């Protein structure tokens, strides 16, 4: 499962939260491909995916979170999608 976290570079709080989210995602699903994507460097891809706010999380090409989710919400979203596969 591919998870892309679009973020605004230079946000120290976001960096700490991103690390926690990544750990939660790794616990939730086995086949995880985690990418942290700077919205500045990849603005075209962000717009392609409908990202308008930061941080946003895209799971397997689908925009799922448009703000920082709780660890629990991220785990639930990942497990739901893993169950569908």
- Interface contacts to other proteins, rule CB under 8 A: 8, 10-12, 39-40, 43-44, 46-47, 50-54
Closest to 5 in 3D by CA, of 42, 37, 47: 37
Shortest spacing between CB 28 and other proteins, in angstroms: 27
Shortest distance, position 44 Cβ to other proteins, whole Å: 8
- Cβ nearer to other proteins, comparing 54 with 59: 54
| DSSP string computed for 8-41 | -TT-HHHHHHHHHHHHHHHHH-SS-EEEEEETTT
Q: Which residue, 27 or 41, has its beta carbon nearer to other proteins?
A: 41
């Amino acid at each position: 499962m591919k998870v892309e976290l679009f973020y605004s570079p230079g946000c120290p709080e976001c960096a700490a939260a991103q690390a926690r989210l990544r750990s939660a995602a790794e616990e939730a699903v086995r086949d995880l491909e985690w990418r942290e994507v700077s919205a500045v460097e990849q603005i075209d891809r962000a717009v392609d995916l409908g990202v308008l706010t930061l941080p946003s999380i895209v799971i397997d090409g689908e925009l799922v979170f448009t703000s920082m989710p709780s660890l629990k919400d991220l785990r639930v979203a990942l497990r739901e999608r893993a169950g569908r596969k």
